[in-house]
Structure 1
Amino acid sequence: MTTKTAKTRPVRWHIAVFLAPAVLIYTAVMILPLFGTLQLSLFRVENNASAFVGLDNFHTLFGDPRWAASFWNALKNNVWFFIIHMLVQNPIGILLAALLSHPKLRFSTFYRTAIFIPTILSFVIVGFAWKLILSPLWGIAPDMLNMIGLKSLFAPWLGQERYALTALSLISVWQFIGIPMMLIYAALLSIPDEIIEAAECDGITGAAQFWKIKLPLILPSIGIISILTFVGNFNAFDLIYTTQGALAGPNYSTDILGTFMFRTFFGFQLQVGDRNMGAAIASVMFFIILAGVCLYLFGIQRRLRRYQF
């Protein structure tokens, strides 16, 4: 009877039919270019011919002083760019979500919309607008600080090597803080009412309820936000390019892996493009992101599962 049932079981071809468009598009847009980039990083143009050099391009990138200085500078800036987002964007996003999820807060829908709107704006608009705001010549930032008696603190932050990258990181935080806010907000709303009611019966309310009850329950969502922040920041390019240009000034102080790869691959001004070295940089970016994602999936996510319900 079991054998007969197994033989007459219908084949669910509709599953493959529905998945085929997404798989084909993802393969054409993501998988094939990825393997093409990895393959390109193993070759070099010699005597107008492409020659296989193995890992020599990576050895040049890490060891040649002409390349290594720029690469390690871009990687260091990228790490700082990520740290700013982790220390500023995500905690503030969690705080905003906790405030907006309070049942007695009025106009919460308006606040959520206002905070999330910058997320849908173009990088070009955001970069150009903040360049105007922070301009020491015609920007409104000096006047606004003067109104509260803090004009002495103003400086041309985008034009100083010490502050340019931090200023751009905070601009990026302003633009994308709505994403962690909305994800945490959704996680807070998904907590069963029975848990909240039980906590209130035990006298746990207010801030103590958030720290002792809600925060452990939303740790998986915080983990997802952290890994999305990691991937997004190590893929960053647009904001730096629109505000500081491909040279990521001043004096490469805002240069990150994305802008470094762009200049190397496509060339800029007097620099001739080198697609093989550009592919090597892109491959390093891929492996960095892959290592971070694997660390989260196999090292952190398993520990967070105990808080899921």
Structure 2
Amino acid sequence: MSASEKTKRPVRWHIAVFLAPAVLVYTAIMILPLFGTLQLSLFREVDQQQVFVGFDNFRILFGDPRWSDSFWNALFNNTWFFIIHMLVQNPLGILFAALLSSPKLRFSVFYRTAIFVPTILSFVIVGFAWKLILSPLWGIAPDMLSAVGLKSLFAPWLGKTEYALTTLSLISVWQFIGIPMMLIYAALLSIPDEVLEAAECDGITGMSQFWKIKLPLILPSIGIISILTFVGNFNAFDLIYTTQGALAGPNYATDILGTFLYRTFFGFQLQVGDPNMGSTIASVMFLIILAGVSIYLFGIQTRLRRYQF
């Protein structure tokens, strides 16, 4: 036997065995339905037969007023839904994490738990509870505002077209603010004490220390949170559906791509389901998310400086 054969590394077949179940499940649940959806978006039913029409369904979705008005309205609402999360949820999550990471703060474990608990609640519970809270008939919001002399500010926010989407966005922020808080909190705790002690020796303390030392070190974590927020918001459906129904009222003011897809694919009330146009909407959602993730991975993440300790 030659020396090369003696030193030949063994084939690690056990890796494939361990990965096979997860790969098969992921392929059956995610990959095959994805390609099936993309394929279905290229066809249209004519005389009860599927006829290949290429990208004609996309042209109808973007240009035909019967479809485009609803699509652009849902896309705009989805974008506003995402912007609210980026401007409110993530900055507040960073603020809470910075406060809770302070060793001088008492009862920090209780505060972390209280902020994170809504994250584990069901969408149905959250949606139903907030509908009761904000109800102008039997909700407690009017009485709570009245107790502090602000009852004049109360309005049926979920019933007004100009306020409904923003209100639902803030409810979603309340539910999920615990996720960015905990991720940033973990990132702050991973900063070595030696780095912070060296900053204190240079006279960098308090908020100045956070802006000049801690924030640059947690930028990769903030980037991950931002892309997770983007993906989650453009896949959103549950909260809108449980609070406003499939019609996403009032007057489609809270209609997002998820609810628009649901009504189109499965049909609702007098609207007949159209799997081909529904698949077209799902394909557009996939392409939007793919574009956003690609921009982050290849345009932003590569520019973030990572520090090794």
Partners of 1:26 and 1:63 in 2: CA distance: 35
**Which runs of structure 1 show a deviation greater than 4 angstroms over 4 or more consecutive aligned residues?**
306-309
Residues 1:32 and 1:202: Cα distance change in structure 2 (over 3 Å):
same
CA distance in 1, matches of 2:303, 2:160: 42
* TM-score, normalised via structure 2 length: 0.98
Partner of 2:162: 162
- Secondary structure at the counterpart of residue 68 of structure 1: helix
- The yes-or-no answer on 1:3 pairing with 2:4 is yes
User: What's 1:280 paired with?
Assistant: 280
Consecutive unaligned residues of structure 2, counting only runs of 5 or more, are: none
Q: What do residues 128-165 of structure 1 show as CA deviations (whole Å, max 9, x unaligned)?
A: 00000000000000000011111000000000000000
SS in 2 for 1:50: strand
CA contact (8 A) 2:217 2:306 kept: no
Q: Distance in 2 between matches of 1:184 and 1:175?
A: 17
CA distance in 2, matches of 1:95, 1:184: 9
Give the whole-Å Cα distance in 2 for the aligned partners of 1:211 and 1:24.
46
Residue matched to 2:66: 66
Secondary structure in structure 1 of the residue aligned to 2:51: strand
| Separation of aligned partners in 2, 1:283 and 1:308 | 39
Q: How does 1:151-230 map to 2 (within 5 A)?
A: 151-230=151-230
* TM-fit CA distance, 1:4: 2.8
Would you say 1:293 and 2:296 are equivalent positions?
A: no
Q: 1:46 offset after TM fit, Å?
A: 0.1
Kindly provide the amino acid, as one letter, of the partner of residue 256 in structure 1: I
**Farther off after superposition, 297-306 or 276-285:** 297-306
Cα drift, residue 3 of structure 1: 2.5
The code of the aligned residue for 1:121 comes to: L
1:217 and 1:308 in contact (8 A); partners too: no
Distance 1:3 1:257 in 2: 59
Amino acid at match of 1:110: F
Q: State the Cα deviation string for residues 159-190 of structure 1 (Å, max 9, x = none).
A: 00000000000000000000000000000000
Note the C-alpha offset of 1:194.
Answer: 1.0
Partner residue in 2 for 1:41: 41
After TM superposition, give the deviation of residue 2 of structure 1 in Å: 6.1
Spell out, residue by residue over 1:37-81, the C-alpha distance to the aligned partner (whole angstroms, 9 max, x if none).
Answer: 000100100011111111010000001010000000000000000
C-alpha separation between the residues in 2 aligned to 1:2 and 1:255?
A: 69
Give the equivalent residue in structure 2 for 1:253. Answer: 253
Conserved? CA contact 1:115–1:178, under 8 Å? yes
Q: Is the 8 A contact 1:235 1:258 kept in 2?
A: yes
Once the two structures are TM-superposed, the CA of residue 305 in structure 1 deviates from its matched residue by 2.8
Is residue 82–residue 234 contact of structure 1 (8 Å, CA) maintained in 2?
yes
* Partner Cα distance (1:279, 1:4) in 2: 54
Gaps of 5+ in 1: none
Offset at residue 256 of structure 1 (A): 0.2
Three-state SS of the structure 1 residue aligned to 2:50 is: strand
How far apart, CA to CA, are the structure 2 residues paired with 1:168 and 1:54? Answer: 37
Does residue 106 (structure 1) correspond to residue 119 (structure 2)? The answer is no
The CA distance in 2 between the partners of 1:2 and 1:153, in whole Å, is 84
| Counterpart residue type for residue 14 of structure 1 | H
SS at match of 1:44: strand
Q: Which residue of 2 aligns with 1:76?
A: 76
2:305 aligned counterpart, secondary structure? helix
User: Residue 129 of structure 1: SS of its match in structure 2?
Assistant: helix
Aligned partners of 1:124 and 1:242 also within 8 Å:
yes
1:54 maps to 54
| C-alpha contact (below 8 Å) 1:101/1:185 kept by paired residues | yes
8 Å CA contact 1:41–1:277 kept in 2: the answer is: yes
CA separation of 1:122 and 1:232: change in aligned 2, threshold 3 A: same
Letter in 2 for 1:289: I
Amino acid at match of 1:44: R
Please list, as runs of the form range in 1=range in 2, the aligned pairs for 1:86-105 lying within 5 A after superposition.
86-105=86-105
Q: Residue 45 of structure 1: SS of its match in structure 2?
A: strand
- Secondary structure at the aligned position of 1:184 is classed as helix
1:307 shift after superposition: 5.1
Q: Kindly provide the amino acid, as one letter, of the partner of residue 212 in structure 2.
A: K
Residue 54 and residue 197 in structure 1: after superposition, are their counterparts in 2 closer, same or farther (change >3 A)? same
Root-mean-square deviation (CA, aligned residues, Å) is 1.0
CA distance in 1, matches of 2:266, 2:245: 14
